Structure 1
Amino acid sequence: MNTPLRRLATVVLAMFVVLMAGTTWVQYVQADSLNNDPRNVRTLYREFGNARGPILVAGEAVASSAPVDDAFGYQRSYTGGDLWSTVTGYYSVVNGRSELELAANDALTGRGDQLFFTRARDLLTGRRPEGAAVETTLLPAAQQAARDGLGGQEGAVVAIEPSTGKILALVSTPGFDPNTLATHDTAAAGAAFSELDAAEGNPLRSNATRETYPPGSTFKLVTAAAALESGAYTPQTPLPAPVTLDLPQTTSTIGNFGGGGCGADPITLADALRVSCNTTFAQLGMDLGDDALRTQAERFGFNDPSLTIPMEVDASVFPEDLDAPTTAGSAIGQRDVRATPLQMAMVSAAIANGGQLMKPYVVQTVRSADLHTVDETEPELLSTAVSPGTAAALRDMMVGVVADGSGTAAQIPGVQVAGKTGTAQTGDDEAPHAWFTAFAPADAPRVAVAVIVEHGGSAGNEATGGRVAAPIAKSVIQAVLGS
């Protein structure tokens, strides 16, 4: 064979090798990701052609599929408008999936590993495949109370059962009607998505789990926990409470809400939490140091990018390598500290549960189409956030906040409520965020809750956590206790 023919043969052989390698890569290595890509039209037709399982709340379907006479075969529909959208998300021909429709997709389509034997049975019997039912932990009364409490204000509410981690309410406002995205009219579905994507408040993004905010004074629970866990402080330890605190290495100062004092100087740690004294907690944060604050925050779940419920959750953040001034600001929940409403509910839940932080979850049971339980979530310890003694001390201090401190608007006759207010400056010349986190009954907790109303809601610059967020938390607590 002459030289040109050898070269040509070599090139052709190389092309065959590249072709075979590329085909193998696509068909085997990338097969799973391509099949599960929501943009894969064949996947959508296959999924829509089978009965997708329902999403249930208290035994009632809030998302379900029914047969229709079109190319897709089944139509996904949602009840309750935007009441459940934070949890269900959407399932769309054009726009894919979100929230539980995404996180539980394998179960809802019947493709999950736990449904292997169900699929094998369907294959052998010729039965048409059906997805599994996903039963949530949500409590309708609590969800409705949270949604009603927020009204037209932007914000979020999360309620958790402290002893198990069950999520009882998960609301983000503004919400959206998933039916507008579930339509099989692709032009209408695309237009609805574009409108929601551009809407004020980003309705498609969950403020409860995928948005982080400065937690403001609710973070003082973490700082107080770090102090008590150090062994150097008790609730009755006297601490300085100046009207303003000069920050080292800078000309800046930290003041108290309203510019006044905290009623006493010195002040006990318990009273400093009760009246939410900024200068006391800023100095306490510097005395403890940023490492102690970060360690304590992480025991409550901060800086954990792996948490899912099973929907994805953005990690709450306590930053690294802080100097003294930034540590002071961080100790009162400002500077670069960021938390989701879920995270602040977890802080209260851990205190309520004697220091044991349970992993939060929203899926209780997965049942096959013939009603066999194929998966059930068991409570799981996520971390020991504080000792039982520290949890008890924090509980009593939080009871004081509601009894005669900054959180009196959360009082419930006949029920002892433990709580903490927060009014977080946003640093962008807008009204502060209003926060409240609490649990009740204090002596036998059944629910822990966190509320944020962005930029003070309808109260604007006049908002405080005690005035705006605490009444919403109160109504959610009452809904749970009354159920």
Structure 2
Amino acid sequence: MTKELRRLGIMVLFMFLSLFVATSWIQVVSAPELNENPLNRRTLYDSFEVQRGSIIADGTEIATSTASDDIYAWQRQYENPDVWSTITGYINPVLQSATGLEQAMNQELSGQSASAFFQRLDQIISGQDPRGSSIELSLDAAVQQAAYDGLTSRGYTGAVVAIEPSTGRILAMVSTPGYDTNQLASHDSDAVNTSYDGFLQADPSPLQNRAIAGDLYAPGSTFKLVVASAAIASGDYTMDSTFDNVASYTLPGSTHVVSNASGGTCGSGDEVTLHDAIRLSCNVPMAELAVELGEGAIREEAEKYGFNTSFETPLVSTASSYPSLGGDDAQTGLTGFGQGQVTATPLQIAMVAAGIANDGVVMNPWMVDDVIGSDLSVQQTYDPTQFGTALDADLADALTEAMTASVQDGAATNARIDGVDVAGKTGTAEGDADEPYTLWFTGFAPADDPQIAVAVVVEDGGGQGQSGSGNTIAAPIAKEVMEAVLGR
């Protein structure tokens, strides 16, 4: 009998230990993964009952929680919401949804992240109400405002992304039109549903983050930077390599004729250098170069800048695409000047400029510097990380020289800043025959000591159909954004 009781006791003890280990594993080890699972609605529901931490940009709280007199206890409030809607998104118990950083950093903001373990423990022991952690962003308020004003003051639909080249820290991210996130944070179910339906039906949609997602754009001539980079990285070309200077080029195996934007040759002379093809933004030599390089070499170089990769900033970007073209030389030639099947986000094009600016080293983009506990302790700090190397430093310098010449006396002169050398590249992407162009600019400043890399995209030709250009429409906005950094 004693032996049987001992055996039963051991079995019960074993079962108890197994249960203890299993529950401890779930609560401690697996908790972060379970909390971040989008199918786990409990985490979202719990976050409505907690005083969420603030989202802070440049020392200003752009998202805070205030006490409410309804069943949800706390309501989110947003400052200058149209400017910051691209970043913050919204959280709302009525809609039972969250977007932007409210979704991506929900664990931190609701105090449920692993880094907030001791904060939660202290709150339990001391009997405090649960509070979330705050997040401090890398974004610069003046730069964000300049980007927003640059687009909205002109009535443009588009996006701006600005990056610190040496670190990958995002200084600005704007998508227009923006929207009032407070309308979607309301606890009035009728009002919030009316607002949400209105935003869904609006054209263009304010809920689409054009900076990192949505319907991706043809990058136009900004992609010439990637093609030129692939060429000089191969060792078979330099920026002084020459091409026949002709006014048109029939793509191999097709009847499609490529022409320069001017309709003529790429400057004067019988030959044109790669340097001048970038400076003057000529299509014909870049299409020829793309065919010579082949799609594999271009794709390999594009991927070194981040193409075909999704980034978490922590907002998740749609991967820009340089797809397999099946050895189609005609399609490869089109990608030589950013047409055909290549697509990109403004974030990606900003990363191309930032990589060139940073001596060929491409940094992972990020927009959160620190997570701060309710006791003001720093719970987590994010450090710069390297994505990869696209070019050797001397080759990046040579490409920078061509980009600088483009701003000084080439195709990107509207990005000039008095007393500062700016490196830049315009883009004018065509769609169907009667569609307005998509207009681009990307670049960095100062050219010899880069503090900011920027990409600007404007949809629908900036209201000018097919008569506008990247230089006339996008470059002036980029200039204002760069000046906001250089003048701070």
Choose from 219, 238, 241 the match for 1:237: 241
Residues 1:423 and 2:428 are matched in the alignment? yes
In 1: Cα distance, 2:40 partner to 2:203 partner: 26
1:214 maps to 218
1:99 maps to 100
* Cα distance, 1:201 vs structure 2: 1.7
In 2: Cα distance, 1:165 partner to 1:30 partner: 30
In 2: Cα distance, 1:381 partner to 1:44 partner: 32
SS of residue matched to 2:466:
helix
1:74 maps to 74
2:167 maps to 164
In 2: Cα distance, 1:445 partner to 1:394 partner: 14
Worse-matched range after superposition: 119-128 or 473-482? 119-128
Residues 1:314 and 2:315 are matched in the alignment? no
1:407 maps to 412
Choose from 321, 331, 347 the match for 2:336: 331
- Residues 201/192 of structure 1: CA separation in 2 closer, same or farther (3 Å cut): same
Mapping for residues 30-429 of structure 1, pairs under 5 Å: 40=41, 46-95=46-95, 96-151=97-152, 152-211=155-214, 212-264=216-268, 265-305=270-310, 307-320=311-324, 321-427=326-432, 429=434
| Aligned residue identity for 2:84 | W
* Cα distance, 1:390 vs structure 2: 1.2
SS of residue matched to 2:472:
helix
- Residues 54/30 of structure 1: CA separation in 2 closer, same or farther (3 Å cut): closer
* Cα distance, 1:459 vs structure 2: 2.6
* Cα distance, 1:260 vs structure 2: 2.0
In 2: Cα distance, 1:390 partner to 1:36 partner: 44
| Aligned residue identity for 2:302 | A
In 1: Cα distance, 2:377 partner to 2:32 partner: 30
SS of residue matched to 1:342:
helix
* Cα distance, 1:180 vs structure 2: 0.4
Q: Is the 8 A contact 1:92 1:189 kept in 2?
A: no
* Cα distance, 1:259 vs structure 2: 2.0
* Cα distance, 1:258 vs structure 2: 3.6
- Residues 353/37 of structure 1: CA separation in 2 closer, same or farther (3 Å cut): closer
Deviations 1:210-254 (A, max 9, x none): 132000000000000011111111111111231110111112211
In 1: Cα distance, 2:31 partner to 2:297 partner: 45
In 1: Cα distance, 2:433 partner to 2:257 partner: 19
| Aligned residue identity for 1:123 | I
* Cα distance, 1:376 vs structure 2: 0.8
* Cα distance, 1:188 vs structure 2: 1.3
1:19 maps to none
Deviations 1:92-140 (A, max 9, x none): 1233111111100000000001111111111122111100001100111
In 2: Cα distance, 1:449 partner to 1:30 partner: 38
* Cα distance, 1:474 vs structure 2: 0.2
Where structure 2 has 5 or more consecutive residues not aligned to the other structure, the ranges are: 1-22
SS of residue matched to 1:460:
coil
In 2: Cα distance, 1:82 partner to 1:354 partner: 35
In 2: Cα distance, 1:472 partner to 1:331 partner: 25
In 2: Cα distance, 1:409 partner to 1:230 partner: 32
Deviations 1:337-390 (A, max 9, x none): 000000000000000000111111011110000000001110001110111111
In 2: Cα distance, 1:253 partner to 1:344 partner: 26
| Aligned residue identity for 2:226 | V
- Residues 238/36 of structure 1: CA separation in 2 closer, same or farther (3 Å cut): closer
| Aligned residue identity for 2:415 | A
* Cα distance, 1:43 vs structure 2: 5.2
Q: Is the 8 A contact 1:419 1:439 kept in 2?
A: yes
Deviations 1:180-220 (A, max 9, x none): 00000112111211111111122111000013200000000
Deviations 1:274-304 (A, max 9, x none): 1111000000000011110000000000011
Q: Is the 8 A contact 2:442 2:478 kept in 1?
A: yes
* Cα distance, 1:48 vs structure 2: 2.2
In 2: Cα distance, 1:222 partner to 1:329 partner: 13
Worse-matched range after superposition: 247-256 or 334-343? 247-256
In 2: Cα distance, 1:36 partner to 1:345 partner: 30
2:4 maps to none
Q: Is the 8 A contact 1:93 1:186 kept in 2?
A: no
Where structure 1 has 5 or more consecutive residues not aligned to the other structure, the ranges are: 1-23
In 1: Cα distance, 2:361 partner to 2:44 partner: 42
- Residues 188/247 of structure 1: CA separation in 2 closer, same or farther (3 Å cut): same
Q: Is the 8 A contact 1:459 1:468 kept in 2?
A: no
In 2: Cα distance, 1:420 partner to 1:35 partner: 40
Q: Is the 8 A contact 1:241 1:277 kept in 2?
A: no
2:10 maps to none
Worse-matched range after superposition: 374-383 or 91-100? 91-100
SS of residue matched to 1:84:
helix
* Cα distance, 1:263 vs structure 2: 1.5
**TM-score w.r.t. structure 2 length?**
0.90
In 1: Cα distance, 2:248 partner to 2:364 partner: 39
SS of residue matched to 1:303:
coil
- Residues 387/338 of structure 1: CA separation in 2 closer, same or farther (3 Å cut): same
| Aligned residue identity for 2:174 | V
- Residues 287/36 of structure 1: CA separation in 2 closer, same or farther (3 Å cut): closer
Deviations 1:6-65 (A, max 9, x none): xxxxxxxxxxxxxxxxxx9xx99999869965894x655532221011100111100000
| Aligned residue identity for 2:289 | L
| Aligned residue identity for 2:151 | L
> Share of identical aligned residues, percent?
45
In 2: Cα distance, 1:36 partner to 1:308 partner: 16
In 2: Cα distance, 1:145 partner to 1:118 partner: 37
1:8 maps to none
- Residues 37/344 of structure 1: CA separation in 2 closer, same or farther (3 Å cut): closer
- Residues 87/183 of structure 1: CA separation in 2 closer, same or farther (3 Å cut): same
In 1: Cα distance, 2:290 partner to 2:131 partner: 55
Number of corresponding residues? 456
